[in-house]
Amino acid sequence: MYIPEHEIRAVLTYEALIPAIRQALIDYSAGLVEQPARTILRAGNAEGFKNGWFAVMPVIHGDVMGVKTVTFFPGNADAGLPTHMAVIELLRRATGEPLAVMDGRLITEMRTAAVSAAAMDALAPRHATSLGILGSGVQARSHIEALRLVRPGIKDIRIWSRTAANAEKLATETGARVVTIEEAAAADVVLTVTASPEPVLQGKWLGPDALVLAVGATGAGLRELDDEAMQSSYVVAECRAAAEREAGDVRLSGMKVEAEIGEILAGRVAAPSGRRIVFKSVGMAIEDLTAARLVWQARNHPA
């Protein structure tokens, strides 16, 4: 059975996905998920930043197994194509029986925002009312929807983008406002979802207890945050090993991951209060498997 994107969109909701992702992150940090490091191959299609990659991400959890194949081609944005494209295969753990193959683009989009939502709810100051977004693409839009669900008190949404027209369009459609990068970075919560190959967020712009959700830089040599932003912050990630291996924001700043978000969500580690926190996400196969399981269940056991 192949499940295309439009059918996934009809059944997958953030109301179901965010709590499922939260539990999956807890299970991962508790050692209940079998998930090797992803295999990444460079496509060799272009030089420098536009050189795409192809990754394979297998995982076993609960009653299912899965594997996602995903591509990231930054140059696609110039051609009007998605920068991320993916396919997910879902299998029954008890027998190895293939259950479904489904499009993974929307699942990747939504699970990424759901992870950020779970992290923000655990890490952001309770008094947070403002959200600054650096970037105006697909992930900016999906994050606004997901983050509003867990923190409806965040009313002031500020958008900065290098492409002013895209920022204006997103702001008009979501009730946000277009601001300078400095004003976006001064928000209580700052989301970076750019395709920049070099830092765009400077630590000097951040508030003393800001939460930064660092999502956009994908690769060991890429980063969105400068040294000051990283080195003045308590660093949290989905997976220590993956962030320290694959995230340029972590590797190039010389920082170490202090805690996994699953440890904090489970109450095994206390998040610091009154200081800056960076949550760096790189994406994990367990997140894709969690979303794919929800899609399969909704398709076969509709409410």
SS (H, E, C) 36-49: CCCEEEECCCCCHH
**Whether residue 49 has pLDDT greater than 80:** no
Give the pLDDT score at 48. Answer: 81
Give the span between the Cα atoms of 147 and 56, in whole angstroms. Answer: 28
Give the pLDDT score at 219. Answer: 78
pLDDT above 70: percentage of residues in the chain: 99
Give the pLDDT score at 60. Answer: 98
Q: Which of 24-33, 168-177, 183-192, 215-224 has the lowest mean pLDDT?
A: 215-224
Confidence band, pLDDT 50/70/90 cuts, at residue 302:
low
In terms of residues, how long is the chain? Answer: 303
Give the pLDDT score at 300. Answer: 84
**Whether residue 196 has pLDDT greater than 90:** no
**Whether residue 194 has pLDDT greater than 70:** yes
Arithmetic mean of pLDDT, 36-56: 89
Which domains are assigned to the chain? 2-107+286-300 (3.30.1780.10), 126-282 (3.40.50.720)
Give the span between the Cα atoms of 221 and 230, in whole angstroms. Answer: 15
Count CB neighbours of 48 within 10 A: 9
Give the pLDDT score at 50. Answer: 84
pLDDT in tens, 53-104: 899 999 999 999 999 999 989 888 888 888 889 999 999 999 999 999 999 9
**Whether residue 303 has pLDDT greater than 70:** no
Arithmetic mean of pLDDT, 32-48: 92
Confidence band, pLDDT 50/70/90 cuts, at residue 13:
very high
Confidence band, pLDDT 50/70/90 cuts, at residue 178:
very high
pLDDT above 90: percentage of residues in the chain: 84
Residue 61 carries which DSSP code?
E
Sequence letter at residue 103: D
Give the pLDDT score at 159. Answer: 98
Arithmetic mean of pLDDT, 233-245: 96
**Mean pLDDT of the residues in the chain:** 95
Strand order in the sheet with 64-72: 2-3, 98-103, 84-92, 64-72, 53-61, 39-42
- Cα 126 to Cα 129, 141, 144, 188: the distances in Å are 9, 23, 18, 10
